[in-house]
Chains A and B, each alone.
Chain A
Amino acid sequence: MNTNEGWTEVAFNGRDPVYLQVIRLFKERIATGRLQPGQQIPSRREAAAALKINLNTAQRAYKEMEEQRLIVTEGNSPSRITQDAGVLRAIRSELLGSAVGGFVAAIRNLDVPVEELLELVRREYETVRRQDDKQDKKPGIEQGRGDE
């Protein structure tokens, strides 16, 4: 199992605390299924090297995630993503919430009625879903979903 695959193409911005960006990254990957519940994650050191961040930052991020119960570390074994359904649901809601919040904030000054907004969202969603399905059906392409 390659725990470091896919970690290296992340870019961090300089304005948000890096450790929060790391946590957000983990949450996104958990919510999208790229990281499965119970999946083993790289050690703090491996994560720092792969993400190209400071060791102290990686340690802080992991500590935060442990406190938020996103990850579980038992004794000396490597940390794993939580399997707690409640936590997983909370992550999904949080990400959804911030995406929706961002959307609403972006269009609030455009003064559009809710029904039109919902219709626009539905159409966009269905277009994107169709494209995703086309990608899935193409031969030879594997969609990596976490642990293969």
Chain B
Amino acid sequence: MIEVVNVRKRYRRRYVLDGLSFAAEKGRITCLAGLNGAGKSTALKVIMGLAPYQEGAVRLDGKPIDRSSRERISFVPDRIAMPSSMKLADALQFMADFYASWNGARARELMRFFDLKEGDKVGSLSKGMAAKFNLVLGLAPDTDYVVMDEPFSGIDVFGREAVASVFSSEWVEGRGVLITTHEIAEIEHLIDHVVLLKDGRAVRSFDTERVRDEEGKSVVDVMREVLLA
């Protein structure tokens, strides 16, 4: 389980994260939702060690996150994170060199699924293809957790369908997935757990099926209730 405990992070004058606490469990798909500027992306960066924070703690299965945790958590950023001149094949080799948990067979499967060619250069990929390649890089290693920052951002309708199908697939089976997205309405039936962020804090954290069962509300309904009140 990835746990964020009372994290506060300041950026210039204001607190982007102001006492944020939530957990993302293994085997479930958790979504951080909220309006723009609520701190979703920042929370993910804090978890991955890409941004410092002033107070609080981030833990992986009870222990503080360190270098070895990075072997167990994949990151799928919202932008291309490989040198433009690199060929896709070289980028895959780069990951294989550094991650003991890299699964080459799964990487090839994913490349086929997303229709990406190893000979292409990273710089020549369209936004949609780059997002898919990021998914390949994030899903290929045998990590316990996958953290994704806006995996649907800037992709066309069919690209989004391809990306969404990943969440129902064996590639995600058994892993803990933590994502942020604006397109929550489109994928809410894929998500197990939602954490609603407002002003850097988790204002509501709930199980999607339980809320549908007990309150008859969709995720968007709850968001409307809590965030627009």
Question: Do chains A and B make direct contact within the complex (CB under 8 angstroms)?
Answer: yes
Chain A residue at minimal CB-CB distance from B177:
A54
The verdict on B71 contacting chain A, using a C-beta distance below 8 Å, is no
CA distance A13 to B219 in the complex (A): 11
- A13: chain B residues at CB < 8 Å are 218
B79 interface contact, C-beta 8 A: no
Name the segment of A15-23, A90-98, A101-109 touching the other chain: A15-23
Can you list, as one digit per residue, whether each of A1-34 has a CB less than 8 Å from chain B (1) or not (0)?
Answer: 0000000000011111111100000000000000
Q: B189–A54 contact, CB under 8 A? A: yes
Q: Is the CB of A18 within 8 A of B221?
A: no
Residue A117 interfacial (CB < 8 Å): no
Q: Is the CB of B165 within 8 A of A52?
A: yes
Q: A48-B168, A52-B168, A54-B167 are known contacts. Are A15 and B189 too (CB-CB below 8 A)?
A: no
B164 lies within 8 A of A52 (CB):
yes
Q: Is the CB of A54 within 8 A of B212?
A: no
Interface centre among A14, A19, A49 (most CB of B within 10 A): A14
Main secondary structure of the interface of A (DSSP, over half): helix
Residues of B within 8 A of A52 (CB): 164-165, 168, 189-190
A15 touches B221 (CB 8 A): yes
What does the 1/0 interface line of A56-86 toward B look like (CB < 8 Å)? 1100100000000000000000000000000
- Look across to chain A and name the residue whose beta carbon is closest to the beta carbon of B172: A55
Q: Are B212 and A15 in contact (CB under 8 A)?
A: yes
Residues of chain B with a CB closer than 8 A to A16's CB: 212, 216
Interface pair B168/A51, CB less than 8 Å apart: yes
Determine whether B27 belongs to the interface, using a CB cutoff of 8 Å to chain A. yes
Q: Is A45 an interface residue (CB 8 A)?
A: yes
Instruction: Return B210 CB to nearest CB of chain A, in Å.
Output: 8
CA distance A45 to B169 in the complex (A): 7
Interface size on B, residues (CB 8 A): 27
Known: A49-B168, A52-B165. A18 touches B218 (CB 8 A): no
Residue A55 contacts which of B165, B168, B208, B216 (CB distance < 8 angstroms)?
Answer: B168
Instruction: Give the residue of A17, A48, A57 whose beta carbon is less than 8 angstroms from that of B213.
Output: A17
Q: For the complex, give the distance between the alpha carbons of A12 and B186 in Å.
A: 11
A88 at the interface (CB under 8 A from B): no
Is there a chain A Cβ closer than 8 Å to B173's Cβ?
yes
Known: A14-B189, A18-B209. A53 touches B168 (CB 8 A): yes
Point out the residues of chain B lying under 8 angstroms from A51, CB to CB.
Answer: 168
Alpha-carbon distance A14/B168, docked complex (angstroms)? 17
Q: Determine how close the nearest CB of chain A comes to the CB of B22; give it in whole angstroms.
A: 18
Residue of A nearest to B184 (CB): A14
Q: Which residues of B contact A57 (CB under 8 A)?
A: 189, 209
Complex Cα spacing A13 to B220, Å: 11
B31 to chain A, nearest CB (A): 11
Interface residues of A (CB under 8 A from B): 12-20, 45, 48-49, 51-57, 60
